[in-house]
């Protein structure tokens, strides 16, 4: 493994960040500024190499990999049900979505039917997770713009959601609630009542956020008309989710290609007009209301029935059966030791995450462990859009744009 | 996703354009896969893009060890108007895996291609900036290959820093 250090230096020096010729003269000079990786405004361990001319960004190179933990490699060493907790840790603000994408891919390969109640329970938790993710985004983004009080308000509501997660699964984050074939447990008594209180409260809270931000001249001037990017460029880069919708394209997989009974619910897709930072803010803010609507409908129409597939080859038998049924004991033993085997095949399962299309690719080779797990994480793709967005903008707008881009480094580096 | 007939028709159209471009098709479990020849992959992608699959949803690598050719690169294409997905798969050998870059057609392929290069060692010719993206610059080997051992990297302590790779002097 020993490597000549001169070789390392040589390779390091080979990295060139081609600067634009503009502004190189006696009065202007290009400055290369390193931002991060440890910087509160980079929303994680993101390093940005910015080339500045005065205060104007001429070029920007994102450098990632600081929190690469090899989760995709780790997943290949674990049986399918043990992969769920590790993929949840990729994008640490949308753990239900990661689990959903992975479980969906495995369910496609197994050809297993998810009971309606489980689908509705999944939607309730997915949409709660979407609100939670947007709240963290709103709080931290406002913080970047200098509005510290938003952070406390957003985290107050987030706390309620985390309490709900704790009620249903026992964990506040990385809940491992979604299982292949359904969900881990039915919601406990009292969950519905607490959720309804939250659903009644959340829209008024979101109104308050709007009042705080949208009547604030500083916020408006920082967001309006800054760093817009048109729909065509966004699509070429592969951008989906709120960023694409802010540019006026109503692409949302929940509507376009409904999964997990999303077609049962009435909700709207908020879209922007010009795709500037203000539109990005407005779209995400409006999505909070739509998520609340979806959750209320799912809670009202929650069907009766099992919360996980009755297929004992995939899902664990209920605890009480173990004492009375030999067969249940054997199934339990097989599932806990080896896990279930998945027939050979490949699946790509895309869902609409809080940041865009979150797709999970799984290749099964017939054993109890996946041969390949890959997450198409929206943050990873969206980071490429940062350069066209901020080129020619002020460095202050770069910070605002990065906040509105909402990258999660855990998802980028995986 | 096109149905089985639709997939065959697409494959025929692509073969009409370039007889050697498509090696086979695979259909099943909600997935339509076109197996493209490594030399003609950009041709196939260009044709599919012209026929409506304008969005590259995902590009990822895969190691089919011990099957040969071992490495695979998958392009998950999406037709946003028809809400239709199709997969283009390319298989290359580990000896000298080379493919033409897709960044000219889909600029968003830049980071995913860097990741495939980083993890599997597939070289994308014509890529604007093909460097490692997730692993450190000085990393040796391609960690997502199936024969790359897990935990194979020594942890840097004081006692072994002299022999460690990438040591700063």
Which helix (H) or strand (E) covers residue A279, if one does?
Answer: helix A277-300
**Cross-chain Cβ contact A64/B134 below 8 Å:** yes
Do the beta carbons of residue B77 and residue B86 sit within 8 Å?
Answer: yes
Rounded CA separation A222/A396 (Å): 8
Out of B56, B132, B133, closest to residue A238 by CB: B56
User: Which residues of chain B lie closer than 8 angstroms to A371, CB-CB?
Assistant: 146
Residues 6 or more apart whose CB falls under 8 angstroms from that of B3 comprise: none
> If you write DSSP's letter for every residue of A332-348 in order, what string do you get?
HHHHHHT-----SEEEE
- CA A289: distance to chain centroid? 18
Rounded CA separation A82/A92 (Å): 17
Mean pLDDT per 10-residue section of chain A, whose length is 414 residues: 58 62 60 84 85 87 89 91 92 92 93 92 93 93 88 92 92 90 90 94 93 88 88 91 91 90 91 91 93 93 90 88 91 91 92 92 92 92 92 89 90 88
Number of neighbours of residue A220 by Cβ within 10 angstroms: 13
Choose the mutation target among B61, B166, B169 for the interface with A, i.e. most A CBs under 10 Å: B166
Do the beta carbons of residue A380 and residue A408 sit within 8 Å?
Answer: no
> If you write DSSP's letter for every residue of B111-124 in order, what string do you get?
HHHHHHHHHH--EE
State residue B56's pLDDT score.
92
What SS3 class is residue A215? coil
User: Which residues of chain B lie closer than 8 angstroms to A413, CB-CB?
Assistant: 134
> If you write DSSP's letter for every residue of A132-187 in order, what string do you get?
HHHHHHHHHHHHHTT-HHHHHHHHHHHHHHHHHHHHHHS-SSS---EETTEESSPP
State residue A296's pLDDT score.
94
Do the beta carbons of residue A226 and residue A277 sit within 8 Å?
Answer: yes
What SS3 class is residue A282? helix
Residue among A88, A70, A84 nearest A172 (CA): A88
Backbone CA torsion sign across A320, A322, A327, A332: positive
Which helix (H) or strand (E) covers residue A357, if one does?
Answer: strand A357-364
How near does any CA of chain B get to the CA of A376, in Å? Answer: 6
What SS3 class is residue B36? strand
- CA A285: distance to chain centroid? 16
* B76 bridge partner residues: B58, B87
State residue A58's pLDDT score.
87
Burial of B72 per CB tally in 10 Å (0-12, 13-18, 19+): buried
Number of neighbours of residue A60 by Cβ within 10 angstroms: 23
How near does any CA of chain A get to the CA of B166, in Å? Answer: 6
Backbone CA torsion sign across A132, A73, B130, A37: positive
At residue A406's C-alpha, the angle toward residues A403 and A410, to 5°, is 125
User: Which residues of chain B lie closer than 8 angstroms to A1, CB-CB?
Assistant: 140, 154, 163-165
State residue A279's pLDDT score.
92
Segment B54-59 shows an average pLDDT of 92
Residue among A162, A159, A192, A47 nearest A95 (CA): A162
User: Which residues of chain B lie closer than 8 angstroms to A64, CB-CB?
Assistant: 133-134
Rounded CA separation A120/A128 (Å): 12
State residue A28's pLDDT score.
66
- In this complex, is the C-beta atom of B160 within 8 Å of any C-beta atom belonging to chain A? no
In terms of phi and psi (left: phi > 0; alpha: psi -120 to 50; beta: otherwise), the region of A190 is left
**Chain mean pLDDT for chain B:** 85
Backbone CA torsion sign across A347, B64, B132, A45: positive
State residue A1's pLDDT score.
43
Segment B107-125 shows an average pLDDT of 92
Closest-CA residue of B relative to A351 is B57
Question: Do the bridges between strand A47-53 and strand A30-35 make them parallel or antiparallel, or are there none, so unpaired?
Answer: antiparallel
pLDDT for B131 beyond 70? yes
User: Which residues of chain B lie closer than 8 angstroms to A66, CB-CB?
Assistant: none
How near does any CA of chain A get to the CA of B139, in Å? Answer: 9
Question: Do the bridges between strand B31-36 and strand B84-92 make them parallel or antiparallel, or are there none, so unpaired?
Answer: parallel
**Cross-chain Cβ contact A236/B108 below 8 Å:** yes
What is the 3 state secondary structure string of A55-110?
A: CEEEEEEEECCCCCCCHHHHHCCCCHHHHHHHHHCCCCCCHHHHHHHHHHHHHHHH
How near does any CA of chain A get to the CA of B92, in Å? Answer: 17
Rounded CA separation A122/A125 (Å): 5
pTM score: 0.89
Helix axes A116-144, A95-110, angle to 10 degrees: 150
State residue B13's pLDDT score.
80
How near does any CA of chain A get to the CA of B50, in Å? Answer: 14
**Cross-chain Cβ contact B60/A374 below 8 Å:** yes
CB pairs under 8 A between A and B: 116
Phi, psi of B87 (to 5 degrees): -115, 135
Segment B125-153 shows an average pLDDT of 84
**Cross-chain Cβ contact B166/A376 below 8 Å:** no
> If you write DSSP's letter for every residue of B38-98 in order, what string do you get?
GGGHHHHHHHHHHTT--EEEEEEEEE-TTSSS-EEEEEEEEETTTTEEEEEEEEE-SSS-E
Choose the mutation target among A6, A7, A256, A346 for the interface with B, i.e. most B CBs under 10 Å: A346
Out of A3, A64, A345, closest to residue B165 by CB: A3
For chain B, what's the residue count?
Answer: 169
State residue B154's pLDDT score.
67
State residue A16's pLDDT score.
66
State residue A246's pLDDT score.
92
- In this complex, is the C-beta atom of B81 within 8 Å of any C-beta atom belonging to chain A? no
Rounded CA separation A405/B93 (Å): 38
pLDDT tens figures, B67-102: 888 999 999 999 988 888 999 999 999 888 999 999
Out of A65, A239, A345, closest to residue B29 by CB: A345
Do the beta carbons of residue A182 and residue A306 sit within 8 Å?
Answer: yes
Choose the mutation target among B26, B29, B105 for the interface with A, i.e. most A CBs under 10 Å: B29
Residues 6 or more apart whose CB falls under 8 angstroms from that of A256 comprise: B80, B83
How near does any CA of chain B get to the CA of A196, in Å? Answer: 35
For chain A, the helix, strand and coil percentages under 3-state DSSP, each to the nearest 5: 50, 15, 35
How near does any CA of chain B get to the CA of A348, in Å? Answer: 8
**Cross-chain Cβ contact B138/A8 below 8 Å:** yes
ipTM rounded to 2 decimals? 0.87
Task: For residue A148, give Cα distances in angstroms to A137, A207, A280, A297.
Answer: 13, 18, 20, 34
């Amino acid at each position: 493994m020993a490597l000549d250090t001169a070789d390392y230096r040589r390779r390091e020096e080979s990295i060139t960040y081609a600067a634009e010729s503009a502004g190189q003269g006696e009065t202007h000079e290009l400055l290369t500024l390193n931002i991060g990786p440890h910087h509160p405004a980079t929303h994680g361990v993101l390093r940005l190499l910015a080339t500045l001319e005065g205060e104007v960004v001429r070029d920007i190179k994102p450098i990632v990999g600081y929190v690469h933990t090899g989760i995709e490699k780790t997943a290949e060493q674990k049986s399918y049900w043990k992969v769920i907790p590790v993929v949840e840790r990729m994008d640490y603000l949308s753990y239900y979505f990661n689990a959903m994408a992975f479980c969906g891919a495995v369910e496609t390969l197994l050809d297993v039917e998810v009971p309606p109640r489980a689908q509705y329970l999944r939607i309730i938790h997915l949409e709660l997770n979407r609100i939670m993710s947007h709240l963290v985004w709103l709080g931290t983004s406002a913080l970047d713009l200098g509005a510290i009080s938003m952070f406390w308000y957003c985290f107050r509501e987030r706390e309620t959601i985390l309490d709900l997660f704790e009620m249903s699964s026992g964990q506040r984050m990385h809940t491992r609630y979604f299982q292949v074939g359904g969900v881990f447990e039915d919601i406990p008594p009292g969950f519905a009542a607490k959720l309804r209180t939250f659903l009644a409260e959340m829209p008024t809270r979101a109104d308050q956020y709007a009042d705080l931000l949208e009547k604030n001249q500083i916020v408006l001037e920082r967001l309006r008309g800054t760093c817009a990017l048109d729909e065509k460029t966004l699509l070429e880069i592969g951008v989906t989710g709120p960023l694409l919708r802010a540019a006026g394209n109503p692409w949302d997989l929940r509507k376009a290609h409904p999964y997990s009974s999303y077609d049962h619910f009435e909700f709207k897709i908020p879209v922007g007009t010009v795709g500037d930072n203000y539109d990005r803010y407005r779209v995400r803010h409006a999505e909070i209301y739509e998520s609340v609507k979806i959750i209320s409908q799912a809670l009202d129409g929650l069907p009766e029935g099992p919360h996980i597939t009755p297929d004992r080859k995939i899902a664990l038998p209920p605890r009480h059966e173990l004492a009375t049924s030999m067969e249940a004991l054997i199934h339990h033993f097989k599932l806990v030791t080896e896990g279930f085997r998945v027939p050979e095949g490949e699946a790509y399962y895309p869902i609409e995450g809080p940041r865009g299309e979150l797709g999970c690719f799984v290749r099964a080779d017939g054993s109890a462990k996946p041969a390949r797990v890959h997450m198409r994480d929206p943050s990873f793709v969206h980071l490429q859009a940062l350069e066209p967005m901020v080129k020619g903008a002020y460095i202050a707008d770069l910070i605002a744009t990065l906040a509105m881009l909402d990258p999660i480094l855990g998802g980028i580096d995986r | 996703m096109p149905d089985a007939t639709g997939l065959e028709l697409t494959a025929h159209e692509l073969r009409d354009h370039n007889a050697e471009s498509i090696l086979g098709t695979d259909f099943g479990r909600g997935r339509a896969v076109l197996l493209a020849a490594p030399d003609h992959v950009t041709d196939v992608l260009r044709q599919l893009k012209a026929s409506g699959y304008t969005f590259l949803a995902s590009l990822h690598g895969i190691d089919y060890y011990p099957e040969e050719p071992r490495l695979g690169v998958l392009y998950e294409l999406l037709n946003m108007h028809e809400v239709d997905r199709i997969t283009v798969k390319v298989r290359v050998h580990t000896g000298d895996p080379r493919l033409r870059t897709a960044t000219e057609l889909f600029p968003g392929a830049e980071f995913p291609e860097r990741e495939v290069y980083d993890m599997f060692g597939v070289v994308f010719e014509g890529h604007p900036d093909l460097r490692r993206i997730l692993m450190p610059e000085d990393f040796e080997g391609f960690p997502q290959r199936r024969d790359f051992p897990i935990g194979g990297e020594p942890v840097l302590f004081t006692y072994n820093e002299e022999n460690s790779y990438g040591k700063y002097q």
